[in-house]
Structure 1
Amino acid sequence: MSAVEIPTAPRKPGDGVRLFGFTVGHVNMPIGFFLDGEPGEMRAPVTAFLIDHPKGLVLFDTGLGPRFVRPRGTQPDSFIDLEQGDTIDERLNAIGVDPAAIRWIITSHLHTDHAGGNAYFPNATVIVQEREYDHAFHNITDDPIYEISEYDLGQPFLKIHGEHDLFADGTIVIFPTLGHTPGHQSAKIRTDGGDIVLTGDCCSLKRSLDEFRLPNHCHDADQFLTSLKLLSSLERKGARVFPSHDPDFWATIPKVGPIG
């Protein structure tokens, strides 16, 4: 039995770890931001995931946060588009999950479109690679994608080094995928339907992995390419790799009920 029952998706006997996906806003960006040299523009979803584990509820990323919310029915005034009701706390409320029940937030990295909603979860511990924590708290200067007020909230941090098995049972394994930022990480989730890898911005689009294409910006290109090769290895072993910002891929993911 889940630590917190989800009214819209009650557990059945024998259910293991379950994964739910959410759209938490969009960003309108040049495609080259994700694939260096690629022309054109795209409307990319910002995504977050709820992991329903028998020992507690876990989030992977929290999407855009309250500073970007616009009233429903109005037009966005920037490339960031987050309508009222689309934040991660509202997405959870819609399926009957109280944000106060979230125990852990696995943060792929501390950019604003991945950690912006952390404030909605006062009882959660934030899991982050120590090198990402150090960079985000001590080494950023004028990088606007890090907004320290969104993650310096008094929540406890679990600063990890390398791979970390959250519940020591192989169901949620966090591992570094460096390159996009100094301490980027991804997570492999073992569901009844097989392994799913949540990539964060190590793999923004499916083409990033299929073509080993880097974005037009990254902290370390060599590390980034090594991380893509790791994801490719996991995919060859049967894991489903979920890119974080791919509108075509995201259109295939169930928005009601568990993914896996």
Structure 2
Amino acid sequence: MTDQVTLYAFNCGWFQCNPGYFVEGDEGPSMRSPVPSYLITHPKGRALFDTGMGVRFRREMDNKLVEGELGLEWFEGMDIATRLKAIDVDPASIDWIVNSHLHIDHCGGNAHLPNATVIIQALEIEAARTSEQRYLYTPEDYDTGQPVKAIAGEHDLFGDGTVRIVPTYGHSPGHQSMIVKLAGGEVLLAGDCCYTERNLDVMVLPKATTDMELGMETYRRLDALRKSGTRILFGHDGKQWKQVTEGVPFVL
């Protein structure tokens, strides 16, 4: 079955920050990092893990972020619908949206996928609905009319162990990641539970962590998985992204 599961990576925006935003104490020039979305195809259906940013973040090319400026960028054609159409996948054919969490840069493309069911941790739905941080949790991004399947803990998406949703709490109250079993091994789509490989290397959580204790517990689990051979695709790792080819099946 694993040889029938494919994984595609897309960038649906840019996140620019100083190195210290990811790893406190790090210094250097601004880091321009991807806002990833991943398509998983399976004989039983199609799923997206995260959907990037929405059109409301659009900038013109002559209004790019300058060095040292913290912010988000989105240019014409970076929406998940355009990314999917580029590989001849109809956005209306997506069955499942698995949002790692409901921050604005992870569910901004949900509205482009009208026939999908959103799978999210119940803890995250509650956090989004009760948060006063509307710059992070914005209803126009996550409340887009699709059916919602609230889960608690792990969930086997297709019932055969090839695509598993796993809780990775810490960054947000109900953060979740996805483990995809490909022919060459397992890939963990981290979302924001771990921004970059360097975070895991030095075991340093960013300040943007809701629960430091749970976040460190998640890091220890990721470290064990990495040592056992699982490939981790980190949430906003510009250095790693240079090794990723968008729009083609991901191969280990």
What TM-score comes out, normalization by structure 2 length? 0.93
Question: Residue 189 of structure 1 aligns with which residue?
Answer: 180
Q: Judge conservation of contact 1:176–1:184 (CA < 8 Å) in 2.
A: yes
1:37 Cα offset (Å):
2.4
| Residue aligned with 2:74, SS | strand
SS at match of 2:88: coil
| Structure 2 residue 210 is matched with structure 1 residue 222 | no
In structure 2, the partner of 1:245 is 236
Partner of 1:102: 94
Q: Tell me, in whole angstroms, the C-alpha distance in 1 between the residues paired with 2:209 and 2:110.
A: 24
Q: CA offset at residue 161 of structure 1? A: 0.4
2:19 paired residue among 5, 11, 31: 31
Secondary structure of 1:83's match? Answer: coil
Verify the 8 A CA contact 1:22 1:255 in the aligned structure 2. Answer: yes
Instruction: Tell me the CA shift for residue 75 of structure 1.
Output: 2.0
CA drift at 1:47: 0.6
Q: Measure the CA separation in 1 of the matches of 2:24 and 2:209.
A: 10
Note if 1:51 corresponds to 2:40: yes
Distance 1:87 1:34 in 2: 25
Post-superposition Cα deviations, 1:39-88, rounded to whole Å, max 9, x if no partner, equal 232111111100011111100000011111235x4423682111101111
Matched, 1:231 2:222: yes
What residue identity is the alignment partner of 1:101? Answer: S
SS of the residue 2:34 aligns to: strand
1:1-260 aligned at under 5 Å gives the runs 15-40=3-28, 41-71=30-60, 73-76=61-64, 79-137=71-129, 139-260=130-251
Q: How many residues align?
A: 246
- Residues 135-175 of structure 1, C-alpha deviations (whole Å, 9 max, x = no match): 101x2113411111111111111100001101110011101
Structure 1 gaps of 5+ residues are 2-13
1:113: Cα distance to partner?
0.7
| Structure 1 range deviating more: 52-61 or 37-46 | 37-46
Q: Secondary structure at the match of 1:195?
A: strand
Identity %: 44
- Cα distance in 1 for partners of 2:54, 2:178 equals 22
Q: Distance in 2 between matches of 1:130 and 1:146?
A: 15
Deviations 1:8-54 (A, max 9, x none): xxxxxx94200000111101112222112222321111111000111
TM-score (norm 1): 0.90
Inter-partner Cα distance in structure 2 for 1:56 and 1:74: 40
User: In structure 1, what is the Cα distance between the partners aligned to 2:133 and 2:207?
Assistant: 19
